[in-house]
Amino acid sequence: MPAPSKEAPLPPWGFAVAGATGAVIANALVYPLDLVKTRLQVQVKRHPNADPHPDDVEHYASTWDAITKIVEHDGLTGLYAGMVGCLTGVASTNFAYFYWYTVVRTFYISYQAVPSAPGTAVELSLGAIAGALAQAFTIPVAVVTTRQQTQPKHERKGLIGTAKEIIDSEDGWTGLWRGLKASLVLVINPSITYGAYQRLRVLLFKDKKNLAAWESFVLGAMSKALATVATQPLIVAKVGLQSRPPPSRRGKPFKTFGEVMSFIIEHEGVMSLFKGIGPQLLKGLMVQGLLMMTKERMELSFILLWRYLRQLRSQQLHKLASLAAERAKKVAPVIVK
Instruction: Report yes or no on 2 lying in a domain.
Output: no
Q: 100-122: per-residue pLDDT in tens?
A: 888 888 888 887 766 666 776 77
Instruction: Report yes or no on 336 lying in a domain.
Output: no
Instruction: Report yes or no on 327 lying in a domain.
Output: yes
State the residue range of the domain holding 54: 12-331
Q: 22-80: per-residue pLDDT in tens?
A: 788 888 888 898 888 888 888 876 655 555 554 455 778 888 898 999 998 888 988 99
Instruction: Report yes or no on 5 lying in a domain.
Output: no
Instruction: Report yes or no on 7 lying in a domain.
Output: no
**Tell me, what CATH number does 95's domain have?**
1.50.40.10
Instruction: Report yes or no on 149 lying in a domain.
Output: yes
Instruction: Report yes or no on 231 lying in a domain.
Output: yes
**Bigger pLDDT: 78 or 136?**
78
Query: pTM score > 0.75 for this model?
Result: no
DSSP, residue by residue, 71-103: HHHH-GGGGGTTHHHHHHHHHHHHHHHHHHHHH
Number of separate domains in the chain: 1
Contacts of 231 (CB under 8 A, 6+ apart): 186, 188, 189, 192
Neighbours of 117 (CB within 10 A): 13
Instruction: Report yes or no on 4 lying in a domain.
Output: no
Q: Measured at the alpha carbon of residue 285, what is the angle toward residues 281 and 286, in degrees to the nearest 5?
A: 120
